[in-house]
Amino acid sequence: MLEAVKVGMLGLGTVGSGTVNILSRNADEIARRAGRGIKISIASVRDIKKQRACDTSGFTLTVDHNKVIADPNVKIVLELIGGTGIARELVLKAIDNGKHIITANKALIALHGNEIFQRAQEKGVTVAFESAVAGGIPIIKAIREGLAGNSIQWLAGIINGTCNFILTEMRDKGRDFDDVLKEAQQLGYAEADPTFDIEGIDAAHKLTILASIAFGVPLQFEKIYTEGITEITSADVAYASELGYRIKSLGIAKRTANGLELRVHPTLIPHRRLIANVDGVMNAVLVKADALGPSLYYGAGAGAEPTGSAVVADLVDVVRALTSDPENRVPHLAFQPDALSNIPILSMDDVSTVYYLRIHVQDRSGVLADVTNIFANHNISIEAIIQKEPQTNIASVPIIILTHEVVEQNMNKAIAEIEKLEAVTNKIMRIRLETLT
């Protein structure tokens, strides 16, 4: 395998630490996907002595950002400082030095992306920013590549987790805005100064980026209409609910005959829409495209590792391009062909799940005890039983059972024994259950 690609980091806060932890924990899988290792070699921070949420022993720590972007061994620079001041300067300088850039900085891209991309174009480097919108959801990739055949009609996104958490709590518990905001701050979902989130500015940064890649227009943050959620009361949430709607803060970009609508504001949406059921701090983007129709992308929009997930995806993207022949950038099966593993595939006998069972029995005493005894003999415990009333003219009654988790082969044995009971009139119906958590 080729030598690992060396990466320099500007900033080592929450997202930076998440990125370092992912690169370290999943080093093997990442190298098998990318075709070579990815190694952080240097990181610049404000305070070298500060405790970090990651192991920094594998790389140089410096207080000098310029050392990172000037390092001749560094091929890729991660900008995780945030803001549009020094971050902009450093990114432009790093590009001038021929470094590829990966950034999670939505404000930087929304406000200075046109300038940055032009510079990158001139210098022949990539600026990747998947982590700047909707955290770990690969929404930039989905729109920019996955929907490349479509004319996109509109998109609507829950792209600020703080607002979504607040509105979800207001609905679920009838709480007031101020009260929930305080809790969000305590939980770390909202900043001490929450203006950027609750006034819709953070969402407007992200919408600027989404609109550009959807419609092929320059980044135009200044033209976005932005309205926060601060005036929504718990009464509004309740009235909306009564009318069959939920209130979500949406970023909306829509193509019309006269031009583009770009707007961030609280929005009533019908409660049965999938996106209306995206709750808490989760993000989702719904895209309506002419060929595909509606598609939705859902996941964590913030946090150390979810955002780090998108940073590392960008890293793998850049490294694959640096490594493989261009026409075979991404391996067919995600991992390099010589790096597939032989993990055994389990027999169904060895799979554990919860079971739903429908058993039809003659309506007489003692049957339920016979059934539950058989379960007990096979160490199968029962979560719930519903015994239905016998229906007229039908000799048998259904018993519905939910078990706890049990290995399939034990369940098979128990079912075989129960089916032999004289009082059991039909083949037992069984359906597996997954909680998907």
Catalytically active residues, by annotation: 206
Closest C-alpha to 30, from 396, 386, 319, 416: 319
Is 404 near its own copies (CB under 8 A)? Answer: no
Q: Which is nearer to its own copies, 402 or 421 (CB)?
A: 402
Query: 358, 387, 410, 421: which one contacts its own copies (CB under 8 A)?
Result: 358
CB 75 within 8 A of CB 99: yes
Between 2 and 21, how does the x/- string for binding to its own copies read (CB under 8 A)?
A: ----------------x---
Question: Which residue type sits at 216?
Answer: G
Q: Which is nearer to its own copies, 2 or 274 (CB)?
A: 274
Rounded to the nearest whole angstrom, what is the least distance from the CB of residue 37 to its own copies in the complex? 13
Is 327 near its own copies (CB under 8 A)? Answer: yes
Is 82 near its own copies (CB under 8 A)? Answer: no
Query: 117, 177, 189, 196: which one contacts its own copies (CB under 8 A)?
Result: 117
Q: Which is nearer to its own copies, 350 or 419 (CB)?
A: 350
Q: Concatenated DSSP letters for 279-297?
A: -TTEEEEEEEETTTEEEEE
Is 286 near its own copies (CB under 8 A)? Answer: yes
Contacts of 80 (CB under 8 A, 6+ apart): 9, 10, 11, 12, 13, 15, 16, 19, 103, 104, 105, 311
Is 269 near its own copies (CB under 8 A)? Answer: yes
DSSP, collapsed to helix, strand or coil, labels residue 263 as strand
Query: 108, 132, 207, 275: which one contacts its own copies (CB under 8 A)?
Result: 275
Q: Which is nearer to its own copies, 376 or 431 (CB)?
A: 431
DSSP, collapsed to helix, strand or coil, labels residue 335 as coil
Q: How far is CA 9 from the centre of its chain?
A: 23
Neighbours of 258 (CB within 10 A): 6
Neighbours of 420 (CB within 10 A): 9
Q: Which is nearer to its own copies, 174 or 218 (CB)?
A: 218
Rounded to the nearest whole angstrom, what is the least distance from the CB of residue 328 to its own copies in the complex? 6
Between 202 and 221, how does the x/- string for binding to its own copies read (CB under 8 A)?
A: ----------xxxxxxxxx-
* Near its own copies in 32-51, by CB under 8 A: 32-34
Query: 73, 195, 233, 379: which one contacts its own copies (CB under 8 A)?
Result: 233
Is 380 near its own copies (CB under 8 A)? Answer: no
Query: 266, 302, 359, 424: which one contacts its own copies (CB under 8 A)?
Result: 266
Query: 127, 170, 180, 302: which one contacts its own copies (CB under 8 A)?
Result: 127
Query: 13, 183, 185, 335: which one contacts its own copies (CB under 8 A)?
Result: 335
Rounded to the nearest whole angstrom, what is the least distance from the CB of residue 216 to its own copies in the complex? 4
Tokens linked to 419: 């089916």
Of 3-11, 88-96, 168-176, 259-267, the segment contacting its own copies by CB under 8 A is: 259-267
Q: Which is nearer to its own copies, 15 or 65 (CB)?
A: 15
Is 393 near its own copies (CB under 8 A)? Answer: no
The string over 312-344, giving b where at least 16 C-beta atoms fall within 10 Å of a residue's C-beta and e elsewhere, is: bbbbbbbbbebbbeeeeeebeeebbeebeeeee
Calpha distance 327→131 (Å, rounded): 25
Binding-residue total with its own copies (CB under 8 A): 147
Query: 87, 289, 418, 424: which one contacts its own copies (CB under 8 A)?
Result: 289
Tokens linked to 61: 């720590």
Contacts of 207 (CB under 8 A, 6+ apart): 157, 159, 224, 251, 252, 253, 262, 263, 264
Query: 51, 365, 393, 435: which one contacts its own copies (CB under 8 A)?
Result: 435
* Near its own copies in 141-160, by CB under 8 A: 141-151, 156
Tokens linked to 331: 């391996």
* Near its own copies in 87-116, by CB under 8 A: 100, 113
Q: What is the dihedral of CA 272, 277, 283, 285, to 10 degrees?
A: -10
Query: 9, 23, 69, 190: which one contacts its own copies (CB under 8 A)?
Result: 23
HSE-CB for 59 with a 13 A CA cutoff: 29
Q: Which is nearer to its own copies, 65 or 157 (CB)?
A: 157
E strands present in 139-235: 152-158, 225-226
